[in-house]
Amino acid sequence: MNTLLGKEKPDLLFNNPLKQKVYVFLKNNPGKDYETFQVLTGDQSVARQHFNEVEQAIRARDERDKAKASREEVNALFLNGAPSDRTRNGRNGIEFGSSEKEAILKKTEKKKLNLRAKQYIKDHPDCTYDELTSALGFKELSRPHFFSMKTQLRKQGLIPGESRTRRSRKGEGRPFRTAQAPSEVSSGPSPIKTIEIIETIDVSGFSEEIREHYKSHVFPLLKKLLPGGQGLQMVFLSDPPTIELRRNSR
């Protein structure tokens, strides 16, 4: 059965007549395998290798066509801008999606409500946050933003300064906080530690292997053999190159 394609693809040409015969068969019967070819055509002269090479050539052409179509889409998007499913504003030629339109409308509406809130504060300088939100129904206005508005209008001289009685009335019902005493600090003298140098070894001629031997073998052995060995420290100094065996003592 012949399969109709949405877009006719250019034909492939093969110098080998057997391959050309396979190509014509696959063009009219896409997706058929080698065994089906033999059954339908009855041609035993075409080898499986011929069939496989034609299939590979067809796949390579299809991949090239897909890559070319992708490049054309990218170029069109680059030249034409955003996809065409976005709505265009006919007044100024700027395109906005539905989500962007909603964000702009919300921002404009919020700006209007902020102006109404400022005007309400001007008319009622002693208003509280709850009074303003209940009067305007502006639940999106946060409490910090409300106090910021009042501070800004007060600095501009558009509303009078807040009275002491008003501030005290606002503070009603709040728990009274007492100043906490600073934590006590011991005034006694801090203990002074002294370092006792038990032994000093000149390591100017030591190689890295010998120094590592002192770290990994000699020092652990000294900590076991000497009394109070757990408090020993082995310090490597560079100028002059020495090893000091130390112990902290008070």
> What CA dihedral angle connects 205, 209, 212 and 218, to 10 degrees?
-80
Map residue 28 onto helix, strand or coil.
helix
pLDDT (0 to 100) of residue 212: 86
CB atoms within 10 A of CB 9: 11
Task: Give yes or no for residue 175 having a pLDDT over 80.
Answer: no
pLDDT, greater one: 130 or 98: 130
Q: What is the dihedral of CA 35, 37, 38, 44, to 10 degrees?
A: -120
**Cβ neighbours for 136, distance < 8 A, ≥ 6 positions apart:** 113, 116, 117, 120
* pLDDT above 60 (res 88): no
Q: How far apart are CA 202 and CA 21, in angstroms?
A: 91
The residue ranges of every structural domain in the chain are: 17-77, 98-161, 194-249
Region 237-244: what's the mean pLDDT?
A: 80
Give me the amino acid identity at 171. G
| Residue range 89-98: mean pLDDT, rounded | 52
Is the model's pLDDT at 160 over the cut of 80?
A: yes
Q: In the predicted model, is pLDDT for residue 30 greater than 60? A: yes
Q: Is the dihedral of CA 164, 167, 169, 175 positive or negative?
A: negative
Q: Does 3 have pLDDT greater than 50?
A: no
Is pLDDT of 233 > 80?
Answer: yes
Q: How would you classify the pairing of strands 241-249 and 232-238?
A: antiparallel
CB atoms within 10 A of CB 38: 14
Percent of the chain with pLDDT over 70: 71
pLDDT for res 85 = 47
Count of alpha carbons within 13 Å of 126, Cβ hemisphere only?
8
> Is residue 55 very low, low, confident or very high in pLDDT (cuts 50, 70, 90)?
very high
Q: Which neighbouring-strand residues pair with 232?
A: 247
Q: What is the DSSP string of 52-68?
A: HHHHHHHHHHHHHHHHH
pLDDT above 70 (res 215): yes
**For residue 130, with 0-12 CB atoms within 10 Å meaning exposed, 13-18 middle and 19 or more buried, which class applies?**
exposed
Q: Give the CA dihedral 98, 103, 104, 107, nearest 10 degrees.
A: 160
225, pLDDT greater than 60: yes
CB atoms within 10 A of CB 136: 14
Mention every residue, 6+ apart, whose C-beta is less than 8 A from residue 34: 48, 51, 52
**Residue 106, pLDDT above cutoff 80:** no
- Is 45 a residue whose pLDDT tops 70? yes
Q: Across the strands, what pairs with 13?
A: none
Q: Pick from 196, 217, 209, 211: which is nearest to 242 by CA? A: 211
Most confident of 87-91, 95-99, 113-117, 178-182: 113-117
Q: Based on C-alpha coordinates, what's the Rg of the chain?
A: 44
Residues 18-40, mean pLDDT to the nearest whole number: 88
User: What DSSP character marks residue 229?
Assistant: G
Specify the higher pLDDT residue, 200 or 153.
153
